[in-house]
Amino acid sequence: MAQAPLQRTFAAMPKLATWLREKDEKWFQPFFAKHSEIEICNACKGEVVIAEADGLLLTGGSDIAPEFLKQPIPNPSVLEQDVDFVRDRWEFAAVDAALARGLPVLAICKGMQLLNVALGGTLKLDIPGHKLPEQKDNDIQPLRFETKAAHRFEKVNSSHHQAIDTLGRGFEIESWCATDDIVEQIRLRNYPFALGVQYHPERGKIYDSLFEDFFDRVSRNRRSKPARSA
């Protein structure tokens, strides 16, 4: 009696979708190297199919292109001139697709602003006192935070000239600047994991737990899917 052919199952690597500029790669590479089981799919370098992704990472960059802002722009001169329309178009589409599938989302700096705008929020288009050279790499900006926030930091390395004004649908504030109440961290309610941070966790060891939480969720998202048979 002929034996049925053996079936092999393949567990595909978890895939993390992102748009990461070359100059920012050095900051994220230590985290990527630590989680080599996750495939980094960088839309800055080639096509990324968000339908195949297990998580979405939105990183820092230039201002959101004005075509995507859902608010009046009284003084266009306050906007940075090096906007990237192609990147913004991809990231807004990626946010829609990721949230529709319940993927874990971590949004950093400009990424948090884009995540907020994607759900109907608006921005303060130019703010003083938040883009000083010493703020970028040093954890010196004091925060206040909600006690129920899973990730809490007393001081952060925040550096930006725009900030959240009105919250997008479903967001709640988890932390804010202690000196002027500028929003520094938001979370999407009733969603597994969609966290936005205005500061730069990729630039400091104190934020490792945040990245570990996010990468663990990306990996678990892949493990929850059935393995492919061959």
Active site residues per annotation: 109, 200, 202
Do 104 and 47 meet the contact criterion of CB atoms below 8 Å apart? no
Distance CA 3, CA 5 (A): 6
Distances (CA, A) of 6 to 18, 28, 37, 131, 227: 37, 41, 26, 60, 15
What tokens appear for 28 in the block? 């994220």
What tokens appear for 3 in the block? 């034996």
Distance CA 137, CA 199 (A): 10
DSSP H helical ranges for 84-155: 85-101, 110-118
Q: How far from each other are the two terminal CA atoms of the chain, in whole angstroms? A: 22
Q: What does the DSSP 8-state code read for residue 102? A: T
Do 201 and 108 meet the contact criterion of CB atoms below 8 Å apart? yes
CB atoms within 10 A of CB 64: 25
Distance CA 180, CA 148 (A): 21
Distance CA 96, CA 145 (A): 28
